[in-house]
Structure 1
Amino acid sequence: MVRRGDSYTRLIGWLKLLLPLVALVMLSTLFLLPRGSAPVSTLPVVEGDAPSGAREQIVAPVYIGTTQDGDQLRFTADTVEPLGDEAQQMLANRLDAQLDMADGSSLALRAQEARIDSGAMTADLQGAVRIESSTGYVMDTEHMVSAIDRIGAQTLAPVSGTGPAGRFTAGKLVIASDASTGDVQLLFTGGIKLVYDPQDP
């Protein structure tokens, strides 16, 4: 004779198995049953040419890379849009670049706009270009070309700024990595003028 307690225990055991299965079947039907949504073919489609002035844009893009020497590159912009029909040519508005070197130093670049060539891996920065280094230099120029896959840049217009020694102007600035040590160097050429400002002891 089966006792009532054994039957109750078996019933509870079966319910523990069946109830989750029933719940799973009910959830499955929510995803498998067809819904009464409108077919894709009824979505509004604009035919013909795009409206005048319409442009393709990417908002707040971010490009991050690492050079062979371990330097970290990060480029951001407000917007990026293609130039012409070539996907390799892009125009970035309000570009910001952060270059963190393996030796611990860093450079920050900022420009109103930059024409980026992903084929040549270069960025042509124009309009109120500012360069700031972790070594204390703050420099301004109107035109600069920078690599986007390595540490390398040069100004195509005169540069002026301040540094640890004082205020200066130069015809050209070249940012390059020393081949022997790997250290990043700021090389000024083309009629350098320095107003020495000795620091207080």
Structure 2
Amino acid sequence: MAVPRRDMWHSRLVSVLKVLLPLIALVLLSTLFLFSRKINPEDAIPYASVNAENRLRDPKMTDAGFAGMTSDGSSLTIAADEAKPTAEGGALKLVQGLLQTPDGAKTELASAAVALDSAQKMIELTDGAELHASNGYVVQAQGFGVSTADTRVESRGPISAIGPGGQLTADHMVLSQQAAAGPYLLVFNGKVRLLYQPKR
């Protein structure tokens, strides 16, 4: 009995494809390896750019921050470029802070370094500090003590300030609430000298 011509053609096609398809697959695989980009095993992993030994020897945190509420309802936030642990609690460098009292007044703080004293509930702005009060005063001092328990910012030593009335110097400055549920005032005391500069 003769095999139909159509079946013969089909059998030959299958035989040819059995050889041809694996060859095509091999060609494709070889071109894949031929044109692929070479991987350099010495290339650094993006997230492994930190020297682990240095970090273990000198532990620190970058882009650190502190946020909290005082007992009288003021919000206090501190952001620092770098933070290091210390025996007292911690130290931060290149600091920006914001104190917002319940009456809506905002006081901006800045210093080169900050020390956190957990036991005393104080944040000590050191190495030259600046305070921008919402009433227009810009106060500079060697340092400020900022309480985390209640709303109180106190200068460490004498201050110099520029405000709506002119330039002034004083032995001491404190920003605090005057009484329970009372107003928040910026008070200069000690030897206060004002160079009055009226607006023109």
Paired residues for 1:109-188 under 5 Å:
109-188=109-188
Q: Does the C-alpha gap of structure 1 residues 161 and 101 become closer, same or farther in structure 2, counting only changes over 3 Å?
A: same
CA distance in 1, matches of 2:178, 2:114: 26
Q: Aligned-pair distance for 1:54?
A: 2.6
Paired residues for 1:1-201 under 5 Å:
54-83=57-86, 86=87, 88-200=88-200
Q: Which residue of 1 aligns with 2:31?
A: none
Q: Aligned-pair distance for 1:71?
A: 1.3
Q: Aligned-pair distance for 1:51?
A: 5.9
Secondary structure of 2:194's aligned partner? strand
TM-score normalised over the length of structure 1: 0.68
User: Could you list the runs of 5+ residues in structure 1 that have no partner in the other structure?
Assistant: 1-49
User: Could you list the runs of 5+ residues in structure 2 that have no partner in the other structure?
Assistant: 1-52
TM-superposition CA deviations, 1:121-168 (whole Å, max 9, x none): 111211120000111000101122111232112112110011111100
Q: Aligned-pair distance for 1:77?
A: 0.6
* Residues 65, 149 of structure 1: 8 Å contact kept: no
Letter in 2 for 1:157: G
Letter in 2 for 1:69: D
Rg larger for:
2
Q: Which residue of 1 aligns with 2:30?
A: none
* Residues 72, 151 of structure 2: 8 Å contact kept: no
Identity of aligned residues (%): 24
* Residues 70, 148 of structure 2: 8 Å contact kept: no
Q: Which residue of 1 aligns with 2:46?
A: none
Secondary structure of 1:61's aligned partner? strand
TM-score normalised over the length of structure 2: 0.68
Q: Aligned-pair distance for 1:73?
A: 1.0
- Aligned-residue CA RMSD in angstroms? 1.9
TM-superposition CA deviations, 1:72-99 (whole Å, max 9, x none): 111111111111xx4x521111121100
The number of residues matched between the two structures is 148
Q: Does the C-alpha gap of structure 1 residues 53 and 63 become closer, same or farther in structure 2, counting only changes over 3 Å?
A: closer
CA distance in 2, matches of 1:131, 1:52: 33
Q: Does the C-alpha gap of structure 1 residues 52 and 199 become closer, same or farther in structure 2, counting only changes over 3 Å?
A: closer
Deviation >4 Å, runs of 4+: 50-53
TM-superposition CA deviations, 1:176-195 (whole Å, max 9, x none): 11214432111111110001
More helix by share: 2
* Residues 141, 159 of structure 1: 8 Å contact kept: yes
CA distance in 2, matches of 1:69, 1:176: 11
